Chains A and B, each alone.
Chain A
């Protein structure tokens, strides 16, 4: 017999690096054998080894019975191991716990302090209401134990008992209070009590007001910093209830702030002042002005000086609390707080962001967002990739620039990659900051649009869902897809701010073409931004620089879009674009136009037709509708002979009138959230009236109609597939020529720093726009060579030939941006030019940009001036309700201790809750309530006793504890015992759940033991859920 000791096990583990798994499995096997043996020493050693392995992650729940065996060992060192095993391995569903009750009671009554403290320390880990109920009587006397260590542990354990079994407090509280009041009590016991009182305090502060004098005494006496911190925290919850405390507290607190050497205490003093609402009730107390300044300057000092990150963090925490009540105090500290946004420590950044969000104004919005954008840009993997490409591209041009590109690349490598959820969080905050109060803080919308365009590129790709088309499940919709939010913002701007609509549409165009060029053929398009962006392109198609290109991009994208909701929007956009392109009724119906139109329709049809079989109904429906419409149109177009020199022919009306008229309705405006509810019901509306009396017959007729088959689709498809993407072919050459010269123009000093977070092409466009804008401004000096916005001879020639009004320029430009970001600079300038006609106007009136408010009906100003946009609201509400429902579902966070029961208990009158102080009706009501509470408690107690009795029986019979009690398992108990008694428990449970007055009678009845009738009625309903009762009835 050479059993391994724990040391052997650990050494073995270290010696078996590589095949630890196998070694551990062997050890577990040995332990299993050893722990079953008779020798207690071997058992205990095996258990200790198991506990060690549990720590590393190997389940030992199977050994719970053996844990119990070791716990009952008479030798202290073995018992200790047993208790450790129980603490580490027992879970709420561990069944042998029932068997442990007697053992715990016995050990609580032991003589040796070392033995007593074992169950005391273990109880908080394994406590259940039943266990609490049965050990309470044994635990209470330990409050008077001669050993202070036992006393303080008992106090805390009683607190944990109270969390699951609130009745504990009724009996224990008077004794604990006595200990607290006792000035001769051991200071460490007092400290433990204060800790417990503090824990209880924030749940039911009212009950602890009477203790204030004693607590105050302890605070002034000082000595133990930990206790002082707890006291301050406790007082912070008391002061709102008793404002007179403030005056009392201020002197010692300010004193502490001025004198204490312990930073933690200093901080908690300040924190207590903040949380207690002591800060700045300026009309109430003139001294509070002083204290507010003192606090804020101290906090500022924590951030600004000495660079201790912990102090920075806690100071931000405190500011986060102050900002709720005293935003102006925090706003004064803007400078230091902004610095924290750039901290390399994410924890600090997040806290600073929380703060900054509330501090945004016209003046600082741009600088704040710029900081954030810079962070995102330098650390996002996609941008470092882009930078890398850039570096490589530049290398071919000039070594100088290659150096710049490379250094930028290096920088982006230095910054640690930000976690994805952080990135998403930051983007969300940027959007929120900019859009809050209906864009109140936003001055420069063009800048915002550029930021949005950049954000779409930075945004992390939403998590890939399964590829099957069922991924349209609502759950995906709810996983907040940040890029869709960005797109929504762009859409909101386009709808609400007419002045910059053109810019927004161009941005949408850019994003679409970028998505098109980025995604390879095999990849699915997952960016949620496509949906709103496609909507913009469709709705404001006439403002696109090149509807044809955008249409062809969309057509290429649609087959690869993953989410059906996106496809539906894209389909709509495609038809709108088509209507715009085809709908020109001025131009002649030439042969050329005829063929190009039928080609175009064939292309669209080629994309739409497969979607008619799409599993998602909405997609299917739209695809079918549009397919049929286009087929009709195609027929009409092919039937219309083209005009010749002699005969003038009009284009088919279907093409020029019918289709465009589908989309030329009223302009869409943003509608306030909930406005729909205010639409009055028309007087004569009868929803029950059939639409048509012979609807059925008509439908039947329609069924019998045969649809003509289309024969020539394949032929057309052949052409479609071959169709080269327009104007890409000869582009690169132009690019190369175009980009060289003005690459290194420093951008205007006004916007210095933009280049650090906007991509090159976006920057170039901005710069060009700025140049155009300033052309007539005498304060800006234009470079002589650049007046036309062109940069190379060839370009000049082109431009001269074609004339600036021809939009030819813009086509390659759009392509350029996608194809090669770095070379976009030169052409970007010309893009700006072509855009200028439109852009110039809004620019000049930027100061008085009109932001449309949401439309609503008849609700007056209240919701008419709702701050944010309806879409945003909607999505927010959605996510809100989602988190709420989720919160409900999870209800309790991991690790959380549920203390909600505590709130129901009254501590005020331990002698009898009935002597309420009110009078008349009020009193009556209260008495009733109290009575009911009492009744419920009584019932609860009875039920627990029953359970306990049951356990005892089982234990006595030596039945393994399967299927016993534990409240939730009433069914299994039912088998064990006869049916009667449950009535009590059943109705008690009901009373508790419903808290209806009507049930009071029932509850009382049950308690009185007179509830038999009710028992029977409930019994019928729930005959299955039964606990046996004989004892209970007896005791009741």
Chain B
């Protein structure tokens, strides 16, 4: 099953945290920062799987290597889009390549909902991120991988994504420095397979 779904940006600031088991806020933050250090040190062209962060490895690897334990989170999959990192922590029972595609589906769904999604959309509409995610994953189990259904499901919850960011920008209210350049739409990198 999937144990956690995380999104953070290139500076390690969380944009979405979803843990499918209850965890203390402080431990959540530690885990995020450990994963961030791992993820930000990847050389170009590396695979989308991380070695276990110390927090998970401490309890996981020692015995999981000898006798695979299906309940233990032992796979950290990540994907990088423009300024954002998407992370899935899962047990070894999930399909690694499947998870990579799952992240892709999630991002594409967001892209459809926001039309050319960028980090700012995600920051200001983090509730929509949660809604979208819960159309795909419930309690750590994937319930839907079909894009149309996901998007329809989100829209059915009355959460038509607005673009407050653009309005804000028009009004000059948004912090000046961040508007430009972060847009994901243009430099989306699809590693599509």
State the A residues within 8 Å of B (CB).
6-7, 10-11, 14-15, 48, 52, 54-61, 76-77, 80-81, 84, 87-88, 90-92, 113-114, 117, 120-121, 123-126, 149, 152-153, 156-157, 159-160, 188, 191-192, 195-196, 198-199, 202-203, 224-226, 229, 233, 262-264, 267-268, 271, 307, 309-310, 312-314, 317, 344-348, 350, 354, 416, 421-422, 883-884, 886-887, 890, 892-899
Contacts and interface: CB of A to CB of B under 8 A. Distances in A.
Contacts of B28: 57
B122 to A, nearest CB: 11
* 4 cross-chain pairs, A with B, having the tightest CB-CB distances, nearest first: A124-B139, A264-B97, A309-B47, A345-B46
B50 interface: yes
Contacts of B71: 893, 896-899
Contacts of A15: 175
A58 B17 CA distance: 13
A898 B153 CA distance: 30
A887 B138 contact: no
24 contacts: A7-B124, A11-B168, A55-B16, A55-B17, A57-B14, A84-B130, A149-B156, A152-B144, A156-B143, A159-B139, A188-B144, A226-B101, A229-B95, A229-B98, A264-B100, A310-B49, A345-B45, A347-B46, A348-B46, A893-B60, A893-B71, A894-B59, A895-B73, A899-B71
Interface residues of B, number: 82
A229 B47 CA distance: 21
Contacts of A195: 141-143
A104 B70 CA distance: 31
A88 B173 CA distance: 29
A149 B1 CA distance: 20
A314 B124 contact: no
Contacts of A310: 47-49, 96-97, 100
Given A80-B157, A893-B59, 5 more contacts: A88-B17, A121-B138, A156-B138, A893-B56, A899-B71
A844 to B, nearest CB: 42
A57 B143 contact: no
Contacts of A81: 127
A716 B158 CA distance: 92
A312 B49 CA distance: 11
B186 interface: no
Contact of A344 (B46, B127, B131, B175): B46
A416 B41 CA distance: 9
A57 B98 contact: no
B93 interface: yes
B72 to A, nearest CB: 5
A152 B150 CA distance: 13
Nearest to A879: B62
A186 B41 CA distance: 44
Contacts of B100: 264, 310
B13 interface: yes
B130 to A, nearest CB: 6
Contacts of B29: 57
Nearest to A351: B49
A78 to B, nearest CB: 12
Nearest to A121: B134
Given A10-B123, A887-B62, A894-B56, A309 B45 contact: yes
Nearest to A81: B127
Contact of B93 (A196, A199, A344, A884): A199
A614 B33 CA distance: 43
A153 B95 contact: no
Contacts of A60: 25
A188 B143 contact: yes
Contacts of A348: 46-47
Nearest to B32: A57
A199 B21 contact: no
A92 B23 CA distance: 9
B98 A202 contact: no
Contacts of B153: 149
Contacts of B42: 345
Contacts of B10: none
A893 to B, nearest CB: 4
Interface centre among B41, B141, B158 (most CB of A within 10 A): B141
Interface string B14-28: 111111111111111
A899 B62 CA distance: 20
Nearest to B42: A345
B14 A55 contact: yes
Interface string B62-97: 110100001111000000000000000100010111
Given A199-B1, A224-B145, A347-B47, A897 B96 contact: no
B58 interface: yes
A309 B65 contact: no
Contact of A226 (B23, B27, B70, B142): B142
Contact of A893 (B54, B73, B149, B173): B73
B14 A56 contact: yes
B183 interface: no
B19 A202 contact: no
B143 A268 contact: no
Given A55-B14, A202-B70, A313 B49 contact: yes
Contacts of B138: 120-121, 124, 153, 156-157
Contact of A347 (B21, B49, B60, B102): B49
Contact of B55 (A48, A120, A894): A894
Interface centre among B124, B138, B146, B174 (most CB of A within 10 A): B138
B184 interface: no
Nearest to B153: A149
B63 A887 contact: yes
A896 B97 contact: no
B4 interface: yes
B98 A268 contact: yes
A344 B43 contact: yes
A159 B140 CA distance: 10
Nearest to A202: B70
B139 A57 contact: no
B141 A84 contact: no
A890 B58 contact: yes
A894 B20 contact: no
Contacts of B93: 198-199, 202, 233
Contacts of A893: 56, 59-60, 71-73
A481 B182 CA distance: 46
A604 B34 CA distance: 49
A895 B23 contact: yes
A316 B54 CA distance: 22
A379 to B, nearest CB: 13
Contacts of A203: 70
A157 B63 contact: no
A532 B60 CA distance: 31
B56 A153 contact: no
A189 to B, nearest CB: 9
Contacts of B60: 893
A188 B145 CA distance: 9
A7 B158 CA distance: 19
Contact of A90 (B22, B102, B146): B22
A273 B73 CA distance: 23
Contacts of B97: 263-264, 267-268, 310, 314
A64 B193 CA distance: 44
B126 interface: yes
Given A77-B158, A896-B72, A7 B145 contact: no
Nearest to B165: A7
A271 B89 CA distance: 20
A317 B26 CA distance: 33
B178 interface: yes
Given A59-B25, A160-B139, A317 B14 contact: no
B126 A125 contact: no
B185 interface: no
Nearest to A201: B93
Contacts of B27: 894
A421 B145 CA distance: 37
Nearest to A346: B51
B80 to A, nearest CB: 13
